[in-house]
Structure 1
Amino acid sequence: MQRHSTRIRPWATALLLAGVLPAAHAAWPDDQPIEVVVGFAAGGGTDLMARALAPFIEKRLGGHARVVVLNKPGASGEIANAYVARAKADGYTLGIINVPGFSFLPLYKKTQYRVEDFTLVARVVNDPTVLIAKRDARYASLARIVDALAKSPKSLSFGYNGVGTNGNLALLQLQKIAKVQPNDVPFKGTAESKTAVLGGHLDYAFVSAGEVPELRSGTSNLRAIAQFGEQRSSALPDIPTATEAGYAVTMTSERGYAAPKGVPAQVIARLQKAIADSIADPDFIKAASSDAPVLAYLPGAEWQASLARQAPALREIADRMPKE
């Protein structure tokens, strides 16, 4: 009687290698790190927020989830946004988007990404813009700054984090309303502009309130001149708004998570819940003391609707600017 060989035939091996049989692999998010891309330099408010949240999101996702932060600064966040837009829609690449810049740049110029290339996951922060200076600044009120510029155009320098960012748009609005000409200086991140102010190389900088927690300590060499929210932020209750000073300029900085368009809905839902639970965690609030007063969670769909309401005002500003 003929015996049958128990050896695996070459054709069977080929079928196995071709993946006819199901491959054993971990499900999202366990089989590789989740990359969170930040469009500004390390040390700024966006970077610090992303790094503070990472371990809390890992915990909420469970299993072997890992979250790593990647900085791709430059071009007012466009480089990072384009990187995320081109990424595979598998939930392993997310971006921290910064509004208004994220929405404004495609209105102002041809960009490497479109707003439609993303699914918004969740807003984390809604942060008023603040004008800061050295504690011994010659002009320590918005009215005196405007008066100095009226007498001597471009005599004072103002830093911000690139074209289309909240600082840039706040300065443009102030310039229009007050009819003055500032000397504007773009930077790659808030850490750089704060250093320039402290070093005496820059007179003023537009930053977000959450990026200057040292102002609340009373021991900083920086001071806040004005804030650009609709009302005074609980982060800086003693600092007047620009509107109080007679200049109706409002501009906030929103920060949150976005994914490439096409990421599965169940992945977006898990990320939303992980982010919502993380920013409500008392340990996170304690660790992220600078952002705590300006935390303002919104799920992605609600954030998208909010941005749609802001679009006409941003388009009006973009239409006034010379195009690149």
Structure 2
Amino acid sequence: MNRTIVALVAALGFADCGPAWAGWPEDKPIEVVVGFAPGGGTDVMARKLLPFVERTLDGKAKFVVLNKPGAGGEIAFASIARAAPDAYLIGVVNVPGYNFLPMTRKTQYSTDDIRLVARAVEDPNVVVVPADSQFQNLPDVVAALRSKPGSVTFGHNGAGTNGHLAIRMLAAAAKVEPNEISYRGTAAQRTDLLGGHLQVGMISLSEIPELHGTNKGPLRVIAILSKQRFPALPNVPTAEEAGFPVISTAERGFAVPKGVSDEIVRKLEAGIAEGLRNPEYLAGSPGDEPVIAFLPGAEWQKRLDAMSDALRPFAEQMRASDQK
């Protein structure tokens, strides 16, 4: 009798507890894993954008942000890769760290186990110093390092992150050796910059909205690692203008475990696109508004594939350096 009941239940589909039966996203909160500490650009972007994505899903979704900082985002990326393919745990991925880390060492995740949903922003790196710093520009920093290698502390948000990679690229272009200091997030970098414990920080443009337009405050931007000057900081020269042709941007977007259905991915992708266009979101996110750069997941993946080829030589250098 029991076998007959089980067979009947299975035939009717009641035994299927997958995404279709769960009625995604109706029945429970969706956890969104962020690989950096609260207060940084990734965390702020997710917390500000997701309420607008909720609205696009007929108000049935409820996103809950979980911060899992550490290992340059690896802990969060591994959480995405290992999650059940029901889209009740998704995450934010940070490029190039997401695709660069596995090139430098064995990681707890593989990009083959993760599916990109949509890119939200493309955010250039900026070099920041305290307002009263002795360094007035990027050549000043380079000159100090050429005079005494390792004499300038340079912060980033973890090995393999975009900031770390940007420092390595800048050091190679300028032929200098900065004293690299790793942090668990931009908020910690900012605290040490303001407290006089860190001389130079490598963060992203969206993380300093209070400086946009004026570049006046307790921090000061001395260079931007973009191809051309940015409207938000029109008086800040590019690294290339300062004599160091380095371009580095942080891309942030959303991803799910590989097995999530196409239908759910399409819903999320459309919701993110609509949320990024919402005038209320744009008005309330002055840091993100200048760097919004939506890309569908499939297009973003193609971009990452090409980017990974370009980054491979830096990964080889980093592996060789770490083995010394």
Distance in 2 separating the partners of 1:128 and 1:201: 24
Partner AA of 1:150 in structure 2: R
Residues 128 and 233 in structure 1, CA contact (< 8 A), matched pair in contact too = no
Higher radius of gyration, 1 or 2:
1
Distance in 1 separating the partners of 2:142 and 2:310: 24
Write out per-residue CA displacement over residues 21-42 of structure 1, whole angstroms, 9 at most, x where no aligned residue.
6659650011111111000000
SS of the equivalent of 2:56 reads helix
SS of the equivalent of 1:127 reads strand
How much has 1:323 moved relative to structure 2? 4.5
How much has 1:15 moved relative to structure 2? 3.6
Partner AA of 1:256 in structure 2: G
Structure 1 gap ranges (5+): 1-10
Structure 2 gap ranges (5+): none
Partner AA of 1:39 in structure 2: G
Matched, 1:171 2:167: yes
Distance in 2 separating the partners of 1:237 and 1:300: 31
Match of 1:246 among 243, 247, 256: 243
Matched, 1:230 2:227: yes
Match of 2:310 among 308, 313, 320: 313
Match of 1:126 among 122, 126, 129: 122
How much has 1:234 moved relative to structure 2? 2.1
Partner AA of 2:141 in structure 1: I
Distance in 1 separating the partners of 2:59 and 2:238: 46
Distance in 1 separating the partners of 2:105 and 2:169: 19
Partner AA of 1:119 in structure 2: R
Aligned to 1:189: 185
Write out per-residue CA displacement over residues 199-250 of structure 1, whole angstroms, 9 at most, x where no aligned residue.
0000010000001111126452000010001111222221100000000111
Aligned to 1:78: 74
Write out per-residue CA displacement over residues 174-223 of structure 1, whole angstroms, 9 at most, x where no aligned residue.
11111111111000000100111000000010000001111126452000
SS of the equivalent of 2:79 reads helix
How much has 1:19 moved relative to structure 2? 4.4
Partner AA of 1:103 in structure 2: N
Distance in 2 separating the partners of 1:199 and 1:313: 37
Match of 1:258 among 255, 258, 264: 255
Matched, 1:282 2:269: no
Residues 213 and 234 in structure 2, CA contact (< 8 A), matched pair in contact too = no
Distance in 2 separating the partners of 1:41 and 1:291: 18
Query: Normalized against structure 2, the TM-score is what?
Result: 0.93
SS of the equivalent of 2:25 reads coil
Aligned to 1:7: none
Q: Superposition RMSD on alpha carbons, in Å?
A: 1.9
Aligned to 1:154: 150
Partner AA of 2:158 in structure 1: G
Moved more, 228-237 or 206-215: 228-237
Residues 213 and 232 in structure 2, CA contact (< 8 A), matched pair in contact too = no
Matched, 1:104 2:94: no
SS of the equivalent of 2:176 reads coil
Percent identity of equivalent pairs: 48
Residues 213 and 233 in structure 2, CA contact (< 8 A), matched pair in contact too = no
Matched, 1:31 2:21: no
Distance in 1 separating the partners of 2:110 and 2:232: 33
Moved more, 43-52 or 167-176: 167-176
Partner AA of 2:160 in structure 1: G
Query: Normalized against structure 1, the TM-score is what?
Result: 0.93
Residues 235 and 294 in structure 1, CA contact (< 8 A), matched pair in contact too = no
Distance 1:235 1:19, change over 3 A: farther
SS of the equivalent of 1:119 reads strand
Aligned to 1:268: 265
How much has 1:154 moved relative to structure 2? 1.0
Distance in 2 separating the partners of 1:319 and 1:207: 24
Distance in 1 separating the partners of 2:47 and 2:213: 22
Aligned to 1:139: 135
How much has 1:64 moved relative to structure 2? 2.2
